[in-house]
Structure formats: structure tokens, C-alpha cells
Amino acid sequence: MSATTAAPDCDVTLRLSPETVEQIEFLAQDRDEIFEEAATRLLCEQAEAEAGRRRGYIYR
């Protein structure tokens, strides 16, 4: 698979090799997994802090 893309406000067009497209897709998937893990961790930390506040503890 190869791809050609142009930025909406730019006159530059990129022609990407199939290998480059594959690498970009792989990195994007990896990035999404990292963001999902970070978001889950943040939500857990916030929930733990909120539970602690309800019990009278202060988390920082």
C-alpha cells in the first residue's frame, strides 16, 4: 500500500513508500495504546485520590 497526502493549507504533497506507510500505521497504533494506558492510569489515580478525600486523607 502506498499513500499520497497533502496538507489542507499547504502546497506540499508527500509520496510515501509502502514500508513507510506500514511504519506510520504501526506507530499510530502503538501511540493509541500508550495514550489509552496513560488515560486509564490517570483515571485510577484520580479515583484513588477522590476516595482518599472522602475518607479524610489528602493525596498529592
In a domain, 45, yes or no: yes
Cα separation, 38 vs 14, in Å, equals 32
How many residues are present in the chain? Answer: 60
Higher pLDDT, 49 or 59: 49
**How many domains are contained in the chain?**
1
Model pTM greater than 0.75?
A: no
In a domain, 11, yes or no: no
pLDDT tens across 18-48, in order? 998 888 888 888 888 888 889 999 988 888 8
> Strands 13-16, 3-6: parallel, antiparallel or unpaired by DSSP?
antiparallel
Residue 21 and residue 3 in contact, taking contact as beta carbons nearer than 8 Å:
yes
CA–CA–CA angle 11, 3, 26 (5° rounding): 120
Q: Which domain holds residue 31?
A: 17-60
In a domain, 27, yes or no: yes
In a domain, 4, yes or no: no
